[in-house]
Structure 1
Amino acid sequence: MLGVIADDVTGASDVALSLREGGLRTVLYFGVPGPDVTPPDGCGAVVIALKSRMAAPERAVASSLEALRRLRAHGARRVYFKFCSTFDSTADGNLGPVLDALADALDVPVVLLTPSSPRHGRTQYEGHLFVNGVPLAESPMRHHPVTPMTDSSLPRLLRAQTQRPVGLLRWDTVRAGAAAVRAAVDEAATRGVRYLLADALDDGDLRTLGSVAADAPLTAGAAGLAEGLAPAVPAGGGAAAYEEADPSAVHPAAVLCGSCSARTLEQLDALRAADRPTYRLDPVAEPDPAVLAERALAWYDALPTGSSRGAPAFHSSVPPHELRAIQRHLGAERAAAVLEEATGRVAAGLVARGVRRVIAAGGETSGAVVAALGVTGALVGRAAAPGVPWIHPTSGPRIALLLKSGNFGGPDFLATASGPPQDPSPHGRRQGARP
């Protein structure tokens, strides 16, 4: 069985979809499952979603090692560490420490890794990461308000986070085929290289890398390499099928938006342009998360019933300069904590009022939503967009969840995913309603 440790919730749903589409029966857990939780029979992959991407290195290492122990107890003999396809971690980030801890625990001499994910527009060439054909440091990620990326060189970024030797597997070797890649990995081991960053420009390159990594105890990367790896993993069960009525027909629906990425802000503008009801969660105006959530839910209850305007959106997403002002006023950690708690409370309140389709934008927002709703496990459904599957919790209210990375989806994604118009039933009075 393949065990996956993902450093955030949206990344976990992304890689779970890749494994599902790669032919593995896949189960997704939010947080490390307890010892009494057993994956379904015939399961080829188990994905554990952590909230370690923005955590301090020591906390990220501790949670990742806990996930590793649980995966090994479930019988996983191959482990995949999933990180973001934009490699967004600063020089004092935690990618290096987590990789060090996992590689040491599994006694792995060489770890093959790449953030390349062509379907998301991420490719690696000559060790540099490109986003839609633009070097990472020249892409919108250079202005990211939390993890600005001002260097496109992956070896340089990783060397800043680990003392272990970092090497480069160039594209001409990858294109030469699996035998050439295996020889390069063996040669790297003789030189003491611990991490081998592999160039990859298309899905064929990722399948080549996946065929080599299939027997490795540890591999790392974005969802692209996982999809290349899946067909080579000798795990049974066939593709995980969870097909039911189109989730877009489940209503009422609501959007919870916390990402401040350029793409999410564009998607939020599209909601406004469509005259969707929107409510801003402003931690400066109200720093008490309970009161902030209570006011947001009161606004929802007062919306006209039977409206044809479509699903409402609750957001804390703001342009970078506004986010910096909020962080100066409250402090970055306090602002994030207030908004995460308030967003979770709003999500729980919406579901209690009968909302059955929840779209969350942003990794931290998605984590707050699943935690507040008590979602611990889910089946992976159909894709709403590349890397963004509908997921269906295995316990609790029957809801459809869409957990979107801030950078994913087209400009109209949130509007499309939260359509069609709402059920004309009075949403504010439908306590405990079922679809």
Structure 2
Amino acid sequence: MNNKQNILLAFYGDDFTGSTDALEFITRAGAKAVLFIEPPTAEQLQQFPQLDVIGVAGKTRALPPDEMEKVLLPAFEQLKATGAKQVHYKVCSTFDSSPTVGSIGKAIDCGASVFENKLIPVLGGAPSLGRYCVFGNLFARMGIGSNGKIYRLDRHPSMSKHPVTPADESDLRLHIGKQTDKKIGLIDIVQLAKPVDEWMSSLTDEEVVLVDVMDETQLEKIGEWMNGLDDKTLFSVGGSSVEAALGNYWNRTGKLQPDTEWKNTMKAEPLLVVSGSCSPVTAAQIEWAKANGFEEIVLDAVKIIEEGIVDASVLNHVAVLLQKEKNVIVHTGSKQTENLSSEKLGTALGTIAKHAAIHSNLKRVVVAGGDTSSYAARAMEIDAVEMIAAIVSGAPLCKAYSTNEKINGLEVNFKGGQVGGEDYFGLF
């Protein structure tokens, strides 16, 4: 990639919903940031002058380790070539992964081979999203942007029952340690209260260090620490707290000016929601939508997996309802709790959304579900997105860029399964 822009940060997200989460936090900090589906070419970058941040919305969360490596090694090399001082592998705030699917350890190994850091930081919490890491153990609120209860990760009613990567360990050192042979240390909340130059006094030969994050006031100091950690490009791992930490520090030093004013958005009429989420949070949101006038279409998920296509009758039914100015929610029903192909379900949902945009006066789409979101975005022929409004923390409203004129300019919201209160879809 031949890019002469002054890039502060380049991040690679393991799915689309998580990538827009990172996009929001760094955009709020005042960065000019664009999120691409693939590492951008020089020609693509020329369309966005004066970029501060480049993001890539990947799909590694749903891949086995060998396929992750084939994707991540060239992607990391391309991000390194931007000259960015900071490169971040963005994971879900609940660290969804296992040794066989979406391995964060494999991503760490790939990053270590490309960037050759002496130490790779892993930020463990994201307080604004209701994720708190204390003495290495992760706790998560039930529903981002809600007032749900907080649970230790391995006792979380949703994450402990995730159909692909159920959380069975709250200590992130042990969780990630099952996925990499690298030695993992910890900077805990007691050390965080000390001066930054004393943080690593307890570390010896660790190659990776987990950093507790309990409170938003800690983020600026963490950003300062990250900026001084390596003379070369620093490779880090974690949720959007990485963007929050760096953004807060760059705000303090004057490198960026925070952006606090956003576009006033009216509710869309009609609105299309497509959901492949298996979260009970999303299930409650679907019930709310049904009770508040949304037309419901339940897909035969097993049939989609077996045949790999969406019935033309479904595509036409969605388009007709939208033409009648009806709000529509399309989801994968009770079968979504089974371990079905994220690629096939996500592609089906994206195909429905693209067809709807072409055949109706659709201006806005909400896509729910982390595992399926990356495939849905690709099926919609989205090339890149840029944040245009803050609705719920961790899930911004974005403008889509596409060579398909019916998709170009479409307003899109990508929501992880844990995001939002029951009335979430009513906000759009």
TMscore range, shorter length: 0.7 to 0.9
Q: Which residue pairs with 1:430 in the alignment? A: none
1:261 aligns with 2:279: yes
Write out aligned runs for 1:214-363 (5 A).
Answer: 214-215=227-228, 216=230, 217-233=234-250, 238=257, 244=263, 246=265, 248-285=266-303, 287-290=306-309, 292-303=310-321, 306=324, 310-318=326-334, 322-323=335-336, 332-333=340-341, 336-353=342-359, 354-363=361-370
1:73 aligns with 2:84: no
1:277, 1:250 → 2: CA distance?
15
Match among 6, 11, 21 for residue 4 of structure 1: 11
Question: CA, structure 1 residues 38+315, in 2 after alignment: closer, same or farther (shift >3 Å)?
Answer: same
Is the 2:247–2:256 contact (alpha carbons within 8 Å) kept by the matching residues of 1?
no
Question: CA, structure 1 residues 242+48, in 2 after alignment: closer, same or farther (shift >3 Å)?
Answer: farther
Match among 43, 49, 52 for residue 44 of structure 1: 52
Write out aligned runs for 1:87-236 (5 A).
Answer: 87-93=95-101, 94-132=103-141, 133-140=150-157, 141-181=159-199, 183-184=200-201, 188=203, 191-215=204-228, 216=230, 217-233=234-250
Q: For residue 67 of structure 1, report the CA deviation from its aligned partner.
A: 2.0
1:55 aligns with 2:63: yes
TM-score relative to the length of structure 1: 0.85
**CA displacement, residues 150-205 of structure 1 (integer Å, 9 cap, x when unaligned):** 11111111111111111111111012242332x43xx52xx220111111211112
Question: CA, structure 1 residues 214+352, in 2 after alignment: closer, same or farther (shift >3 Å)?
Answer: same
Is the 1:91–1:161 contact (alpha carbons within 8 Å) kept by the matching residues of 2?
yes
Question: CA, structure 1 residues 302+365, in 2 after alignment: closer, same or farther (shift >3 Å)?
Answer: same
Q: For residue 239 of structure 1, report the CA deviation from its aligned partner.
A: 5.1
Stretches of structure 1 lacking an aligned partner (at least 5 in a row): 418-435
Is the 1:82–1:220 contact (alpha carbons within 8 Å) kept by the matching residues of 2?
yes
Q: For residue 77 of structure 1, report the CA deviation from its aligned partner.
A: 2.5
TM-score relative to the length of structure 2: 0.86
2:227, 2:395 → 1: CA distance?
25
Q: For residue 56 of structure 1, report the CA deviation from its aligned partner.
A: 1.1
1:106, 1:212 → 2: CA distance?
18
Q: Which residue pairs with 2:144 in the alignment? A: none
What residue identity is the alignment partner of 1:415? G
Question: CA, structure 1 residues 386+293, in 2 after alignment: closer, same or farther (shift >3 Å)?
Answer: farther
What residue identity is the alignment partner of 2:166? P
2:83, 2:96 → 1: CA distance?
31
Q: Which residue pairs with 2:376 in the alignment? A: 369
Q: For residue 8 of structure 1, report the CA deviation from its aligned partner.
A: 0.8
Corresponding residue pairs, total: 398
What residue identity is the alignment partner of 1:312? V
Is the 1:128–1:153 contact (alpha carbons within 8 Å) kept by the matching residues of 2?
yes
Q: Which residue pairs with 1:415 in the alignment? A: 426
1:301, 1:81 → 2: CA distance?
37
Q: Which residue pairs with 1:424 in the alignment? A: none
1:64 aligns with 2:72: yes
